[in-house]
Amino acid sequence: MIERFLQLNGQAQVPVEPRQPGVLALYAPKWRTARRRAAESHSLARALLLGAIGFIFWAVLFSLMHRVLAYFNRTPGLGDVLAVKLLATMLLAFLPILLLSNIITALSSFFLARDLELIAAAPVDPLRVYGARFLETLIHSSWMIVLVLIPVLAAYATVFDAPARFYLSVPLTLGAFLVLPAVAGTATTQVLVNVFPARRARDILALVALLGTAAFIAVFRLMRPEQLARPEGFRDLVDFIGALRTPQSVWLPSEWAANALLTPLRITERPGDAFPLLLLGTSAAAFLVMGAWVHGRLFLTGLTRAQEGGRRRSAPATGRLSAERAIPLPLTARSLVLKDLRSFFRDTTQWSQLILLAVLVVVYVYNIKVLPLFSGEDVGFLLRNVVVFLNTGLAGFVLAAIAARLVFPAISLEGRSLWLLRSSPLRLSLLVWSKYWVGLVPLLVIAVAITAGTNAILGVSGFVGAVSLGTIIALSFALTSLALGFGALYPRFNSENPADIPTSFGGLLFMMSATAFIGVVVLLEAWPVYSFLLADVEGRTLGPADWGALATGLGMAFVLCVAAVVVPMRIAVRRIESIEH
Amino acid sequence: MIRFSGVTKRYGQFTAVHPLDLHVRHGEMFGFLGPNGAGKTTTIRMVTGVLRPTAGSITIAGKDLTTDPIGAKRHIGYIPDRPALYEKLTGGEFLRFVNGLWGREGEAQQRKADELLDLFDLYEWKDVMVENYSHGMRQKLLICSALVHGPDVIVVDEPMVGLDPKSTRLMKDLLHGFVEKGGTVFLSTHTLEVAESVCDRIAILNAGRIQGLGTMAELRRQAEMGEAGLEEIFLRLTGTEQARELVASLRVTA
């Protein structure tokens, strides 16, 4: 029976000519894996929650766009121009995001994926490999943009009474539009990997991507786009419309795509014009051909370089024994903390996120600085103090975002090495608490710096200043614990890129819970503090009821914060003890 | 030294390990053999505390892994078959980290770590991050990490996987030396030759149940196979007829 499995193809009377697998067949294992992973990890409750969040997001975006477009539609002449401009600008903003995303995804799918050895060893036509990997890169990099565009385009269709032709042109246009940055991104990666080894290229790209995003956010914010919405800066209306009509550039695919999409709605300059779609389609096709050519020239050498892994990388000489021993912590805790710090600062994908966080903090403080509180007439003492109070809530949200990046992934990052910790004589509570302190210290520093800084900008001190500072400190303790708790409940041990962990389902759940928690804490404190300030402004002396309300509000907020430290930490310890990975 | 009492592991409806009663004696090299999916790795992971048994108990040096996990784990050095390590630590830092987990530090420990690295030709790589290590080098670093804190029991899953001939020999000598000094080794392997040449006693596991247990002579008796080697006994006890056929036909082809 076994003999028939041992027949060699070369010895067969009629050797079987292997048929080339199709691009979709090559891509099939990927989407099957993704589908099964989704089916395994998504219970009905999870699916419903995700569905609800998605629906709310779509509904909010749709209604927002609908309002704006309906307003444009009621403004003859100018409205149509603004509607086209709005979509062109959105697509233009998406272009660099798509390009960066494709560059990074292509690195994984073309050069670092674990199944590449199998694919490279199989007698498969390189062009088909390109097709399959390109499709994978395109889908991974673009799905989020498509999800955002659906409610946007739906709003356009509703407001401007779209004909059937619009619905036909949407998939064609979007398909062609998404292909362009995908080809450019994959080709860039092919070139980069031929210059740098793949692992270094990943680090460099992660850094470039983050710096790019950070610069984009910072520059965009510091330009104060809200001022551009003031047409009084233009000489007259004709000037204003003229400026709007001018395309950002005739060479930009975003402009072609916006025109191709909106031509059927008869709001573009040349309604019914098929040229933009043709231009986009033929460009995409030409790009695909060029991409395949680049792949044919560069893929195999790149793949070889990727296998070589580059020069051996020594660690910086931070491991001096005497310095290690000087850290005032018990031996095991010290070992855990040092291991986490080293892993963090040596991993570009991890530490580079600090850049993004720094920008987030700078933009936040800048926003507080440009608040119109100081322009025009003097704003009252009361309002300024209320703003300080709201500021605490917003700073809490910034902290939650930082905790999602720094603390939430801590358990997931133990990943495949968890066997060592589980088989060692280590109390797992010590592991969780060491991660807690490693996460808390930077969070506390940022929290106190933001709050003290913004309080100083707003010129608030005294009682409200002290309450806001106390609150943000308590929030830091609680948010660190919440992030660890959710991180332990929803770990992603197999994630290849640490930067992906915060955007997982658990990360989303953490952000939602943290936001709700911050909201409750701020609400508990807000009313009694407001009454206290009001009494102060009105020159009243505080009665026992006022003091009681104040103590109750602050006390309840404090108890809530303590509970938010204790409960998630206990859950995290229990969860890690029960993980069988 | 290691005592299994009714140890069972179930994953939902599937039973990976049926109630297992076994005693691995002090100073013994004990081999755990079985085909793929027999439950060897599951058992190994239970002994090291990585997995919890669904039922039953495991004691190591008289300490129950469930009620006194820390006390029990102090005695163990574990070498898993898949070398998953902290990629961003250097080999030297990794061994210091492992020492820290077992509550050990100091000059003597540092010297011991360096000697182990040297023994496995890794000393030159001491300050290089693990992400640059080959599969075999990672495996060797794992072996160093299991020995560096001075365990009484070494639990090892597929000890020779990924090792070059020199390291394979070294590993065998190390295990022998460890047992001669009174240490206990609990090893699981596919390599019948390794089990036959180094183990004092062998258990053959199939579908989560022990099919044969004892010295080579005892196993021959159990399998009623005269002077047969371990391969024949293994195939007989695990009932892998197709494999036997394949082995035979490959011999013919060769």
Residue among A393, A392, A410 nearest A507 (CA): A410
Domain that holds residue A353: 329-364+381-578
Q: Which residue of B has its CA nearest to A310?
A: B132
**Percentage of chain A lying above the pLDDT 70 cut:** 83
- Are B84 and A424 in contact (CB < 8 Å)? no
Residue B233: pLDDT band (50, 70, 90) is confident
| Arithmetic mean of pLDDT, A161-167 | 89
Q: Give A81's contacts (C-beta < 8 A, 6+ positions apart).
A: A241, A244, A245
User: From CA B106, how far away is CA B99, in angstroms rounded?
Assistant: 10
| Arithmetic mean of pLDDT, B174-198 | 86
| Arithmetic mean of pLDDT, A561-576 | 94
Q: Which residues pair with B156 in a beta bridge?
A: B79, B187
Q: Where are the domains of chain B?
A: 31-36+68-253
Amino acid at B30: F
Q: What are the structure tokens assigned to A177, written together?
A: 């539009």
| Arithmetic mean of pLDDT, A343-355 | 79
Question: Count of CB contacts below 8 A, A vs B?
Answer: 116
| Cα atoms in the 13 Å half-sphere on the side-chain side of A450 | 35
Residue A3: pLDDT band (50, 70, 90) is low
Select from B87, B101, B127 the Cβ nearest to the Cβ of A332: B101
Q: Are residues A301 and A333 in the same domain?
A: no
Location of structure tokens 């272009």: A95
Domain assignment present for residue A416? The answer is yes
pLDDT tens readout for residues A30-53:
777 777 777 766 577 777 887 888
Q: Are residues A294 and A393 in the same domain?
A: no
Residue A79 CB neighbour total at 10 angstroms: 17
Q: What is the pLDDT of residue A484?
A: 95
- Are B69 and A426 in contact (CB < 8 Å)? no
Q: What are the structure tokens assigned to B61, written together?
A: 């040096």
Residue B25: pLDDT band (50, 70, 90) is very high
Answer yes or no: is pLDDT of A505 > 60: yes
Chain-wide mean pLDDT for chain A? 81
- Rg of chain A taking only CA atoms, in angstroms: 28
Domain assignment present for residue A322? The answer is no
Residue B253: pLDDT band (50, 70, 90) is very low
Q: Identify all chain A residues contacting B242, using CB atoms and an 8 Å cutoff.
A: 1-2
- Are A335 and B90 in contact (CB < 8 Å)? no
Q: Are residues A279 and A386 in the same domain?
A: no
Q: What are the structure tokens assigned to B112, written together?
A: 């011991």
Select from B87, B92, B103 the Cβ nearest to the Cβ of A331: B103
Residue B250: pLDDT band (50, 70, 90) is very low
Higher pLDDT: B246 or A40? It is A40
Q: Are residues A543 and A448 in the same domain?
A: yes
Q: Which residue of B has its CA nearest to A580?
A: B51
| Arithmetic mean of pLDDT, A151-176 | 92
Q: Are residues A334 and A285 in the same domain?
A: no
Distance from CA of B216 to the nearest CA of A (A): 30
Domain assignment present for residue A509? The answer is yes
Q: What is B31-36+68-253's CATH number?
A: 3.40.50.300
Q: Are residues A83 and A170 in the same domain?
A: yes
Location of structure tokens 């995001």: A97
Q: Identify all chain A residues contacting B110, using CB atoms and an 8 Å cutoff.
A: 321
Higher pLDDT: A504 or B183? It is B183
Q: Which residue of B has its CA nearest to A331?
A: B100
Say whether pTM exceeds 0.80.
no
Burial of A456 per CB tally in 10 Å (0-12, 13-18, 19+): exposed
Higher pLDDT: A480 or A463? It is A480
Element (H, E) at B185: strand B184-189
Q: Which of A33-37, A561-565, B205-209 has the lowest mean pLDDT?
A: A33-37
Q: Are residues A401 and A501 in the same domain?
A: yes
Domain assignment present for residue A523? The answer is yes
Distance from CA of B245 to the nearest CA of A (A): 7
Higher pLDDT: A211 or A448? It is A448
Domain total for chain A? 2
Distance from CA of A580 to the nearest CA of B (A): 6
Distance from CA of B181 to the nearest CA of A (A): 23
User: Of A96-110, B56-70, B75-89, where does the model show the most confidence?
Assistant: B56-70
Answer yes or no: is pLDDT of A225 > 80: no
B55-60, strands of its sheet edge to edge: B14-24, B2-11, B55-60, B63-64
- Are A339 and B93 in contact (CB < 8 Å)? yes
Distance from CA of B224 to the nearest CA of A (A): 27
- Are A419 and B80 in contact (CB < 8 Å)? yes
Q: Are residues A188 and A82 in the same domain?
A: yes
Answer yes or no: is pLDDT of B251 > 50: no
Domain assignment present for residue A516? The answer is yes
pLDDT tens readout for residues A519-555:
999 888 887 887 777 777 777 777 787 788 888 889 9
Q: Are residues A290 and A336 in the same domain?
A: no
Q: Are residues A296 and A422 in the same domain?
A: no
Residue A284: pLDDT band (50, 70, 90) is very high
- Are B50 and A419 in contact (CB < 8 Å)? yes
Answer yes or no: is pLDDT of A515 > 80: yes
Domain assignment present for residue A16? The answer is no
Q: What is the pLDDT of residue A85?
A: 83
Q: Are residues A51 and A124 in the same domain?
A: yes
User: From CA A391, how far away is CA B36, in angstroms rounded?
Assistant: 60
